[in-house]
Amino acid sequence: MPLQQQIFALIVSALVFVIVIDMVRKRRLREEYSVLWLLTSVLMFVLVFRYEWLVALTDLIGAGLPTTTLFLSSIIFLMLLSVQFCIKISQLTDQVKNLSQENALMKREIESLIENPPIEQQEKP
Amino acid sequence: MKILIIIPAYNEASRIGEVVRNVRETVPGYDILVVNDGSRDETSHAAKSAGAMVVSHPFNLGYGVAIQTGYKYALAKGYDFLVQMDGDGQHDPACIRDLLAPVLAGETDFCLGSRFLGLESYAPSLARKVGMAFFRWLVSSLIKTSITDSTSGFQAFNRRVIRYFTTEVFPCDYPDADMLITLHRAGFRILEVPVRMHASATGKSMHAGWRPLYYMFKMLLSIFVTLLRKRQE
């Protein structure tokens, strides 16, 4: 692996790692979403120093060039990420649905309490 | 014995008042709940002044969610039976009693109003007919009961079904064919009776534009995964 490539990959993986950790620290990113990002940056870091692992992996999956393996893994990473988002969105949709239903029913309950207050409250001035 | 009639409505201000009044005249004494699904017009006001109780969603959540809100209300308020009909005047209130009778008599848990069982109703377009015929065949063979109008939103059912529908099993987007199969697999009895339906006055339908394609896809997928799930008793 040329030195230029190594330096570039190191900088990128270090940046991703630091930014993700910082976002978690500032509570702008929840821990559950940081896992995939951190794993990827660590993996990149390792592959820079263990280039032979990347070559071995390339042979294993039958790809022609190590770069192909890298591209493939980044696509898989992105896919995993969007599946994670889809699952979360489905959950959130469900929660929003339940909350809005409860909100609607409670509003109706309050309205009916205002229209027909319980008797002990009616007697007070 | 408490009976609730729920009417989901979205931007139906022009018709909901008349629908509610018709229902009140036909079956006086039943409580009517209009679920206003985040309408941007005066639906809520129109329904209230016609004498219905109104529950309003904070924003539009869709037909399935609206009827489920109605079920949750019915469950919380201890209603024994529930009738559900559309807010656009398609469903003839005169058929409410026919729909309720077998449920009240305990002959069935869930009664579906079909526009294809005799009583004169409007004729749907050819494309819809083909789609309906396909789902009719699929649903009927899966639940081993003849179902002629699986997309019908004119229904009556008892408290056990109300309770079942308020759980997460209820399919909130386009609840029809897959809902029937879920019900059947949970051991509920399903019956179909003839009802009269009119064509919607504005021709506004849930199934317009690209929706039928999504509908077909969603329904097939939903039926498929329903069959994959374990039976819940």
Instruction: Please state the rounded mean pLDDT for residues B202-210.
Output: 58
What pLDDT is recorded for position B139? 87
Q: How many angstroms separate the CA atoms of A79 and B170, rounded?
A: 29
Q: How many angstroms separate the CA atoms of B63 and B204, rounded?
A: 14
Q: Which residues pair with B114 in a beta bridge?
A: B194
Q: Choose from A100, A102, A106, A109 for mutation: most chain B CBs within 10 A.
A: A100
pLDDT tens track for B120-157: 666 677 777 787 788 888 888 888 888 888 888 899 99
Distance of CA B60 to the CA centre of its chain: 18
**Does residue A122 register a pLDDT over 60?**
no
Strand B81-84 with B190-194, pairing: unpaired
**Contact between residue A70 and residue B17 where contact means Cβ atoms under 8 Å apart:** no
Mean pLDDT estimate for chain B: 87
- Judged by CB atoms closer than 8 Å, whether chains meet at B72 and A100 is answered as no
Is the CB of residue A6 less than 8 Å away from at least one CB of chain B?
no
* Burial of A30: CB neighbours in 10 Å, binned 0-12, 13-18, 19+: exposed
**Does residue B202 register a pLDDT over 70?**
no
Instruction: Please state the rounded mean pLDDT for residues B184-199.
Output: 90
Residues near B216 by beta carbon (within 8 Å), at least 6 away in sequence = B131
B196 SS3 class: coil
Q: What interface predicted TM-score (ipTM) does this complex get?
A: 0.82
3-state SS, one letter per residue, for B132-191: HHHHHHHHHHHHCCCCCCCCCCCEEEEHHHHHHHCCCCCCCCCCCHHHHHHHHHCCCCEE
**Does residue B232 register a pLDDT over 90?**
no
Query: What phi, psi does B163 have (nearest 5°)?
Result: -60, -45
Q: How confident is the model at residue A18 (pLDDT cuts 50, 70, 90)?
A: very high
Q: How many angstroms separate the CA atoms of B137 and B142, rounded?
A: 9
Is the CB of residue A104 less than 8 Å away from at least one CB of chain B?
yes
**Does residue B16 register a pLDDT over 70?**
yes
**Contact between residue B194 and residue B118 where contact means Cβ atoms under 8 Å apart:** yes
What pLDDT is recorded for position A121? 59
Question: Which contacts (CB < 8 Å, 24+ apart) does range A17-26 have?
Answer: A17/A41, A17/A42, A17/A45
pLDDT tens track for B213-226: 887 888 888 888 88
Q: How confident is the model at residue B200 (pLDDT cuts 50, 70, 90)?
A: low
What pLDDT is recorded for position B119? 67
**Does residue B32 register a pLDDT over 80?**
yes
Contacts of A107 in chain B (CB under 8 A): 55-56
Q: Choose from B4, B45, B59, B65 for mutation: most chain A CBs within 10 A.
A: B65
**Does residue A78 register a pLDDT over 60?**
yes
What pLDDT is recorded for position B133? 82
Q: How many angstroms separate the CA atoms of B75 and B85, rounded?
A: 18
Q: How many angstroms separate the CA atoms of B10 and B33, rounded?
A: 14
What pLDDT is recorded for position A117? 86
**Does residue A124 register a pLDDT over 60?**
no
Query: What phi, psi does A2 have (nearest 5°)?
Result: -60, 150
Show which of residues 18-47 on chain B sit within 8 Å of chain A, judged by CB atoms: 35
**Does residue B203 register a pLDDT over 80?**
no
CA B232 vs CA B122, B144, B165, B228: distances in Å: 37, 18, 13, 12
pLDDT tens track for B68-120: 999 999 999 999 999 999 988 889 999 999 999 999 999 999 999 998 886 66
Distance of CA B222 to the CA centre of its chain: 18
**Contact between residue B60 and residue B10 where contact means Cβ atoms under 8 Å apart:** yes
Residues near A57 by beta carbon (within 8 Å), at least 6 away in sequence = A69
Tokens read off for B150? 């699986």
Mean pLDDT estimate for chain A: 88
Helices (H) and strands (E) in chain A, counts: 5, 0
Can you give the pTM of this predicted structure?
Answer: 0.82
Q: Where are the alpha helices (DSSP H) in chain B?
A: 13-26, 43-49, 63-76, 96-104, 126-143, 159-165, 177-185, 211-228
Is the CB of residue A106 less than 8 Å away from at least one CB of chain B?
no
